[in-house]
Amino acid sequence: MEAKFIGQSLPRYDIASKVQGQRKYPQDFNMEGQLHAQVVWSAYPHARVLKIDARQAEALPGVVKVITWRDVPVNEYGINIMDQPVLVGEGAKVRWVGDRIAIIVAESEKIARQARDLVRVEYEPLSVVMDPRQAMKPGAPLVHEERDSNILKHIPIRRGDIEEGFAQADVIVEGYYVTDAVEHAYMQPEAALGYIDEQGRVTVIAAAQWPHDDLHQIAHMLSLPEDQVREIVPAIGGAFGGREDMYIQHLAALAAFCTRRPVKMVWSRTESVQRSGKRHPFYMRHKTGATREGKLTAVEIEIISDAGAYASTSIPILSNAASFSAGPYVVPNARVDAYTVYTNNAVTMAMRGFGATQPPIAYELQMDKLAGKLGMDPVEIRMKNLFEEGSIAITGNRMSHGVGIKETLRQAALAAEWREENGHWRKPALPPAEAPHLRRGIGVACAYKNVCYSMGFDDTSTAEVTLNLDRSGEIVRALVKIGASEVGQGVWTALAQIAAEALRVDIRKVNLALVDTAQVPSAGSSSASRHVYMSGNAVLRACQRALAKRERVLHEETGESKVTVTYTYHGREARATTPLDPETGQCEPHISYSYGTQIALVEVDTETGEVQVLKLWAANDMGRAINPQMIYGQVAGGVHMGVGYALTEHFIQKEGRALTKSFSEYYIPTVRDMPREFVNILVEVPDPSGPFGAKGLGETPTLSTAPAILNAIHDATGVWLDGVPATPERVFMACRKSL
């Protein structure tokens, strides 16, 4: 049967309310009699708290309560390891400037702000652990004293024999690449409303990527059974990984729990920039060998990632980074040592790519450096090494189920006017720049990323589908209940399209229930590009079973006017993943993959160091395009983040303190900073286990932008920028040194 809703550019279900300003985000909720809360932040990146004196703050008229560590039933939380104190107590340590000393609850926001300046805290400052490379060394001051080292995790991967691999190589390239921390910079700052609901449940309205995990953590913190806690997720103003961990949910819940009144908390943009988690800075050392024919023989890679003060998801991010560290290429011999290390810098966490975003900066520049040494075209050297169906990755697993990476490169290269003759590829001649100080260049980068949770984590999503039937058994309305957070990516529209397709009903008859943990089952997080695959499979199967149940109802004439099916899809139904072997890293790492290639044409102003992307081609393999118009937006948005990552976004930390405060210092690209021309190419190589062949898309479009731009800068100027961001200062200095 021909698809009716899959592949259609239907308008997203929430867009009419969004263009009218009617959609409510957490800051748009207010309740009768609500109080306002503000956080007293740590004044030091590393210090022991000696004394907290809140008497003056408490005495201020309008202050209802100053909540400190003594008020927290179980003073710990964390998405992966519960290593974070909710509020830091006397005698304990603050480990970064995002640690919290107290929460002021007052009758107005103004009073709460005044009162927070009246809380007197005595600290004993400790030496600040700033650089993970120093922090790894024995004898470095410890961020967590109960551990014997700041190294949170070391992940080795061993495949083949690198000595033999390098011996076979005709050329060897070595490089060292550094990436800075990145701020998510979602447009909607942190806000939440906590209250006690009519059934006595501690309830919080917040923008959350993983509501059911928050529920678990809040219940733990308050020492309550999970059915006494509730999280409601309204519209979310962007997330990008930054709302996967709890950031404000627990604080609003705690304030409501302590005061038994509604409490609203809203952060300023400066709080958002300085006190929220970031993408990990990486330090990557690569040695890559290839034969004269351009075949890769060996890689030796060291990755050091800055975990910041607390674990968050640093370990799975590191696992991902290690598994992707050699790129989407066949490399028979590999030795990878990846470390993530505690410091007193900003906590680092999930951000679009989850460990797959930094490695391409290294492996894609290595590919171009090899191509340069071999006198080979950059497309050609990639074509010789890219994964195909059945290729073996450095983790020993066989790549399969729709390996579209070569096709993305082929289509992007042809679109950018590369020419292929007898297996040889030739770069296009570029139109000349208009002045001698302007240099043009073109660069290519390929990348890939897992879809769904990885490495033995049992990924599941549960959908509940109810069909309301008329007397003849026709579906009047279908209601889908699923705890999938709509962060702006369009998951609800994609799931509605999948449901309508499966049920063969008009999509206007399909409704999705609001995400409220008291009402909808867990779908896991809006991350890992996973909802179309995981939740799509859950919805698809629940719909199919609901149709079968309806047949029985009609056949047996039971008179029922409603059928409901709840179905939990397990990722292992299609493919079971396994953890990395602790010594060799060999495993079946991921369920499915999405692949992408980007090509950037840039113009470098060698007098100012400014780089303008003139044109960008993005080819992505997402298996099956559920909604092409929404995919266009996802890809363009991914490129936006990639351009910022490459050129402008610089989060500066000095001695554990964030110097970057706001959008006037943290430059996310404006409309004028985007590539002047943008070409979006959809490549559909289906994964048969995905719903209608779909894999996922959310993250891959961000991965190859920055390395494509860096390779283009080199093509234009002959200068390598071995890291990001390539700010005008850095580009100018690099050009001045070598031009």
Partner 1 sequence: MPELRMRVNGKEVTVEVEPDDLLAYVLRDKLELIGTKIGCGEGECGACTVLVDGQSVTSCIYPALKAQGRDVTTIEGLRRNEELHVIQQAFIDCAASQCGYCTPGMIMSAKALLDANPNPSREEIEAGISGNLCRCTGYYQIVEAIHLAAQRLAERGEEGSHGS
Which residues contact partner 1 by CB under 8 A?
Answer: 9, 11-12, 14-16, 18-25, 27-28, 185-189, 235-240, 268-269, 487-490, 629-630, 632-633, 635-641, 662-664, 668, 670-672, 674, 678
DSSP string, 415-452: HTT-EEETTEEEPPPPPPPSSTTEEEEEEEEEEEEEES
Cα torsion angle, 163, 338, 287, 323, sign: positive
The smaller minimum CB distance to partner 1, of residues 98 and 488, is found at 488
The smaller minimum CB distance to partner 1, of residues 271 and 588, is found at 271
CB 270 within 8 A of CB 300: no
The smaller minimum CB distance to partner 1, of residues 462 and 489, is found at 489
- Which token pair is 206? 């917040």
Q: What is the DSSP letter of 507?
A: G
CA nearest neighbour of 387 among 367, 407, 357: 407
The smaller minimum CB distance to partner 1, of residues 78 and 675, is found at 675
CA nearest neighbour of 598 among 685, 683, 706: 706
* 441, HSE (Cβ side, Cα atoms, 13 Å): 22
Q: What is the phi/psi pair of residue 622, to 5°?
A: -110, 15
Task: Name the residue type at position 658.
Answer: A
Q: How far is CA 266 from CA 43, 48, 272, 364, 544, in A?
A: 20, 28, 10, 41, 43
Closest distance of CB 148 from partner 1, Å? 41
Closest distance of CB 634 from partner 1, Å? 8
**DSSP E strand boundaries for 343-437:** 419-421, 424-426
Closest distance of CB 662 from partner 1, Å? 6
d(CA 183, CA 294): 37
Compute how many other C-beta atoms are within 10 angstroms of the C-beta atom of residue 666.
20
d(CA 344, CA 346): 7
3-state secondary structure at position 222:
helix
Closest distance of CB 440 from partner 1, Å? 21
CB-based contacts of 630: which residues, under 8 Å, 6+ apart? 9, 12, 490, 493, 494
Q: What is the phi/psi pair of residue 713, to 5°?
A: -60, -40
Closest distance of CB 688 from partner 1, Å? 29
The smaller minimum CB distance to partner 1, of residues 165 and 277, is found at 277
Closest distance of CB 644 from partner 1, Å? 9
Closest distance of CB 11 from partner 1, Å? 6
The smaller minimum CB distance to partner 1, of residues 278 and 541, is found at 278
Closest distance of CB 381 from partner 1, Å? 29
CB 313 within 8 A of CB 350: yes
CB-based contacts of 564: which residues, under 8 Å, 6+ apart? 464, 465, 466, 467, 546
Strand partners, 618: 598, 680
3-state secondary structure at position 153:
strand
Closest distance of CB 638 from partner 1, Å? 8
CB-based contacts of 209: which residues, under 8 Å, 6+ apart? 236, 239, 241, 243, 244, 485, 487, 525, 526, 527
The smaller minimum CB distance to partner 1, of residues 10 and 74, is found at 10
Q: How far is CA 678 from CA 442, 502, 603, 709, in A?
A: 14, 34, 15, 14
Is the bond preceding 725 in cis, omega lying within 30 degrees of 0? yes
Closest distance of CB 264 from partner 1, Å? 11
The smaller minimum CB distance to partner 1, of residues 247 and 324, is found at 247
Closest distance of CB 484 from partner 1, Å? 15
Task: Name the residue type at position 107.
Answer: E
Task: Name the residue type at position 516.
Answer: D
d(CA 406, CA 50): 59
The smaller minimum CB distance to partner 1, of residues 237 and 456, is found at 237
Closest distance of CB 351 from partner 1, Å? 12
First to last CA, the chain: 61
The smaller minimum CB distance to partner 1, of residues 542 and 641, is found at 641
H or E element that contains 298: strand 296-308
Closest distance of CB 615 from partner 1, Å? 13
The smaller minimum CB distance to partner 1, of residues 366 and 680, is found at 680
d(CA 282, CA 708): 18
Closest distance of CB 405 from partner 1, Å? 23
The smaller minimum CB distance to partner 1, of residues 234 and 294, is found at 234
- Which token pair is 141? 């001051």
The smaller minimum CB distance to partner 1, of residues 358 and 702, is found at 702
The smaller minimum CB distance to partner 1, of residues 371 and 600, is found at 600
The smaller minimum CB distance to partner 1, of residues 571 and 701, is found at 701
Closest distance of CB 162 from partner 1, Å? 40
d(CA 595, CA 400): 12
- Which token pair is 664? 């006037």
Q: What is the DSSP letter of 701?
A: H
d(CA 640, CA 285): 27
Compute how many other C-beta atoms are within 10 angstroms of the C-beta atom of residue 180.
20
Cβ burial of 170 (10 Å; 0-12, 13-18, 19+) is middle
The smaller minimum CB distance to partner 1, of residues 297 and 529, is found at 529
Closest distance of CB 669 from partner 1, Å? 8
CA nearest neighbour of 497 among 15, 9, 16, 18: 9
Task: Name the residue type at position 419.
Answer: R
Closest distance of CB 629 from partner 1, Å? 5
Residue found under tokens 């309310």: 17
d(CA 556, CA 179): 64
Closest distance of CB 590 from partner 1, Å? 26
